[in-house]
Amino acid sequence: MKKNYYIQDQIVQIREDHCNEFKGHKNISADNLPPHTKKKKTKYGSETTSRRAISRTLNSFLNTGNGGTVYLGILDNGKVNGITLTEYQKEHIELGLIDLFGRYKPPVKRHRYTVKFVQIYKDEKEAEECEKKNAENKNITELESNDYTPYTGPKTEHDLRSSKHCWCDKDAISSSNTGNEITSYIVEIKIYKWDHDGILDKNDGIGEYVNIHPIYEDEEGNSYFRREVSQISYNICDLERLARYETEKRCKDIIYNLEEDIKRLESLLKCETVEKKSS
Ligand SMILES: [Zn+2]
């Protein structure tokens, strides 16, 4: 069973590939990137950026249709570094994702992604003790859940489209300055694979029968595709070629299934005729 926690500085078993990416920061959308990390012209005329928004990877996982997971707080070499987050900052990340996917064209439906905050411990011993305590606390909260009040959204609006510190970040800094220890997490943002025939994805894609996964434009109007461990931007010709290829592939599958159905029905019919004749 997959462990529900990480150990600080450990190297994880997962590798970066077509469906896994590690990020050392939490800049969800392009407007969260600090100005110094944005495009700069070099003396050779080419443009470089030192940091890319998480949105670009999420967009590529959606557009390939196969899904994938972005791990915030794992370094490029697979080392667990972690991101310290207060409850308010966790809420900021969740709302930031909802805001981002609402700006995609078409908007991304809520069932296509999940965000999970997985705690980091300093070693296995601490992990075992804390997980045991958490499980006990969970039982208590479940028992007391009769007086549960439903979540009604943040008390103060988070500044979701800015590169500057939000009030929740300032709150975390002052809390940490007064000696409070803030919990460290790996944030797992998972995009689910497109399911042509699934109840939730049915009739939501392109083409009435083929139901191919939608191609999403990100908050800047770009569409990315995942290739091994990087993203490439597609132009309209690339998109047309891709749509043609995927439609053909999907139709082949549908035709094959229909042919198999016909064969099965024909053999059933034959059996019935033979039975009738013999009786
Ligand atoms: Zn905030």
Beta-strand (E) ranges in the chain? 6-7, 20-23, 40-41, 47-48, 68-72, 83-84, 113-121, 184-191, 224-227, 230-233
Comparing C-alpha atoms, which of 148, 156, 26, 162 is closest to residue 84? 26
Q: What are phi and psi of 41, to 5 degrees?
A: -85, 130
The pTM of the full predicted model, rounded to 2 decimals, is 0.83
pLDDT value at position 148? Answer: 54
Contact 270, 264 (CB under 8 A): no
- At 2, the pLDDT band (50, 70, 90 cuts) reads low
DSSP one-letter code for 37: G
Give the number of C-alpha atoms closer than 13 A to the C-alpha of residue 158, restricted to the C-beta side. Answer: 24
Residue given tokens 């557009």 in the structure block: 63
Degrees to nearest 5, angle at CA 28 with 149 and 193:
85
**Distance from residue 81's CA to the centre of ligand 1 (Å):** 22
Kindly report, residue by residue over 249-274, the tens digit of the pLDDT.
888 988 899 999 999 999 999 888 88
Note residues around ion ligand 1 (Cβ under 5 angstroms): 92, 158, 166, 168
**Distance from residue 93's CA to the centre of ligand 1 (Å):** 8
Whole-number Å distance between alpha carbons of 38 and 260: 54
Above pLDDT 70, what percent of the chain? 89
**Distance from residue 118's CA to the centre of ligand 1 (Å):** 19
Higher pLDDT, 181 or 236: 181
pLDDT value at position 266? Answer: 93
pLDDT value at position 51? Answer: 86
Query: How high is the mean pLDDT of the chain?
Result: 88
**Distance from residue 241's CA to the centre of ligand 1 (Å):** 41
- At 33, the pLDDT band (50, 70, 90 cuts) reads very high
**Distance from residue 171's CA to the centre of ligand 1 (Å):** 9
Contact 88, 172 (CB under 8 A): yes
Query: Tokens standing for 272?
Result: 């019935």
pLDDT value at position 233? Answer: 87
pLDDT value at position 82? Answer: 97
pLDDT value at position 130? Answer: 87
Report whether pLDDT(42) > 70. no
Query: Tokens standing for 95?
Result: 């709302």
Beta-strand (E) ranges in 166-273? 184-191, 224-227, 230-233
Kindly report, residue by residue over 106-163, the tens digit of the pLDDT.
999 999 999 999 999 999 999 999 888 888 887 766 655 555 565 666 667 999 999 9
**Distance from residue 89's CA to the centre of ligand 1 (Å):** 6
